[in-house]
Structure 1
């Protein structure tokens, strides 16, 4: 159902399988467990983080909801599962100046023509300039970018398509990489398939370390956060940001509003009708 009806990604399917398997280790038969049996999960989950408990409980609720809808059970016992309050963590941030340092160093290294330096520059330009997820970036086909088009059409989470803008700088960096790389199905090949997410993570951290940024502060996802944060600071609205990031729910995008509260206050003071009226009264 998750694959066919909701278009869940392979990683999501694996996560659900893992959560159901963990529950089965405690309950035995998950499908036949009653409310009393489910209460045992509360004590079994005590050592786990609240976020892990919330995810596992959510997977089970969805599973029992599916069984009920399909007529495979006459009840849904999942109401007894714990509902821990999970505080969404704020994203780690890089300043625009720090990202500029990384980009400038990557461009300088790529100017030497060294093959991997050219690749790394293209990776960084796309990560920061388009806000791609790591999984989306490494799986780009070689023909994904066309010189005449300022965007990519991506199939992201849940196989949902979205338009992703590509900057002129990214176009140039990718064009140099294509000219320097071997012919492959993938834009960024690695081994027998495309570059792995783990290798991308290592590359990005190494690029940060070269310009004096603590590597543990940087990852492909941190660069995606930087893309979103700096767009918001530049005046982008949340709905536009939601579309660019490929978020199904705008609540996911709203986490970025914390980073620019001062600009939002200034916006209200400058644009709100009462602010203008106050100014007129002072005049």
Structure 2
């Protein structure tokens, strides 16, 4: 069964061109699934898996405290795996056909106020090399709504400051062009001209954002920076790297931006994913009304 998993992962990487984070997620889910099949159900052939086997696995996940979101992700991974096995004629049936994903409670993304965003963007100490870099990263994230994985993957050649746009490669290796505002352009220019060479210390790399050792900044590195700056800005919310992306989309829609344009900038394949931000703006509108209307 492990060989079939390897073939499936190879298919996801080479033929479907999925992002590395997505592939890792599939692999993690399916490893736990195969471990359950072999250890608990004592199944050695994937053709022996039935609908009831998968339901028992999902029950096992539930009993171990897994959320509906995690279970839904496992179902998606297992379904894709079994469909692949059927296409490749490794198995003769797909046991996932009549298995539904659990209903998930739709949580509205956490969004910062404009004042909180300003406080965060002002928090880096730009008299220092790292501060100039951090300011550029935060300005770029808020200006474009990029994912952090996309931010740290940027190369120097992806940023076109005179033209005012950045080239970004997102999920599924899909490329998109996102406009840059003046503030972000200025911050990135300052970083490239003042700080980047000092951080590189004679090293050469295509990476736009680098760390103390002159290597490409990692997700973990950015996370630590964000936590530190959040504290220094006096923001009490638990910010994640995705919070600036959520704030970017919500603030655009609040100021009258077209939903399709926001979808394109965020790189969402389906507009229904972008529509969550319209619910956020409506919720915020109610809060403002309740707070300020004299007869609310």
TM-score of the aligned structures, taking structure 1 as reference length? 0.85
The reply on whether 1:97 has 2:115 as its aligned counterpart is yes
- Check the 8 A contact 2:145/2:245 in 1, yes or no: yes
Listed one character per residue, the Cα deviations across residues 105-142 of structure 1 (whole Å, up to 9, x for unaligned) are: 43xx31x2x10111111011001111111011111112
Show the counterpart of 1:31.
46
- Check the 8 A contact 1:39/1:80 in 2, yes or no: no
After superposition, the Cα gap between the structure-2 partners of 1:199 and 1:18, relative to the gap in structure 1 and judged at 3 Å, is: same
- Check the 8 A contact 1:130/1:227 in 2, yes or no: yes
Show the counterpart of 2:154.
140
Aligned positions, number: 260
- Check the 8 A contact 1:42/1:81 in 2, yes or no: no
**1:80 offset after TM fit, Å?**
5.4
Q: Determine which of 244, 249, 257 is the counterpart of 1:236.
A: 257
Q: Determine which of 42, 56, 63 is the counterpart of 1:40.
A: 56
- Check the 8 A contact 2:109/2:280 in 1, yes or no: no
CA distance in structure 2 between the aligned counterparts of 1:102 and 1:39, rounded to whole angstroms: 46
3-state SS of paired residue (1:3): helix
CA distance in structure 2 between the aligned counterparts of 1:188 and 1:43, rounded to whole angstroms: 44
After superposition, the Cα gap between the structure-2 partners of 1:162 and 1:219, relative to the gap in structure 1 and judged at 3 Å, is: same
Structure 1: unaligned runs, 5 residues or longer? 266-283
CA distance in structure 1 between the aligned counterparts of 2:214 and 2:192, rounded to whole angstroms: 18
- Check the 8 A contact 1:103/1:125 in 2, yes or no: yes
TM-score of the aligned structures, taking structure 2 as reference length? 0.82
Q: What's the C-alpha RMSD, in Å, of the aligned pairs?
A: 2.0
Show the counterpart of 1:193.
215
After superposition, the Cα gap between the structure-2 partners of 1:26 and 1:177, relative to the gap in structure 1 and judged at 3 Å, is: same
Structure 2: unaligned runs, 5 residues or longer? 1-10, 39-43, 287-296
**1:30 offset after TM fit, Å?**
6.5
After superposition, the Cα gap between the structure-2 partners of 1:78 and 1:192, relative to the gap in structure 1 and judged at 3 Å, is: farther
Show the counterpart of 1:268.
none
Show the counterpart of 2:294.
none
Task: Note the 1:218-237 alignment, pairs <5 A.
Answer: 218-237=239-258
**1:170 offset after TM fit, Å?**
1.0
- Check the 8 A contact 2:47/2:93 in 1, yes or no: no
3-state SS of paired residue (2:109): coil
Show the counterpart of 1:271.
none
**1:79 offset after TM fit, Å?**
3.3
Task: Note the 1:133-282 alignment, pairs <5 A.
Answer: 133-179=147-193, 180-182=195-197, 183=200, 184-190=205-211, 191=213, 193-214=215-236, 216-261=237-282
CA distance in structure 1 between the aligned counterparts of 2:244 and 2:156, rounded to whole angstroms: 22
